[in-house]
Amino acid sequence: MNWILTGICLLWNLIVFLLYGWDKRKAKKNHYRIPEKTLLLSALVAGGLGALLGGRLFHHKTRKWYFWLAWICGIIVEIGILYYIWRS
């Protein structure tokens, strides 16, 4: 069961990573963008690592301090969830 929950966390981070890449692509093409609220919330809900990697790799939202804060808080939430899963 622990591996399944860990896999779900990894899958969520992959989705968040791809979400940042998709928004960056839309930004380059001047298309309708994903709202910042969505990007921030996806990072905070245990997607911090995917958001951080996506932001760094795609050079997306890296200058905004509140995105960095959301990414770090999301990573802390993720560590807490993984600790809770694996502590038993």
Whole-number pLDDT of residue 73: 96
pLDDT tens readout for residues 22-42: 999 999 999 999 999 999 999
Whether residue 59 contacts residue 24, with contact meaning beta carbons closer than 8 Å, is answered with yes
pLDDT tens readout for residues 3-21: 999 999 999 999 999 999 9
Q: Residue 9 and residue 47: Cα distance in Å, rounded?
A: 8
Whole-number pLDDT of residue 88: 72
Q: Which amino acid type is present at position 77? A: V
Entry pTM: 0.91
Angle at 21 between CA 39 and CA 36, to 5 degrees: 20
**Domains of the chain: total:** 1
Whole-number pLDDT of residue 83: 95
The domain containing residue 79 runs over which residues? 1-87
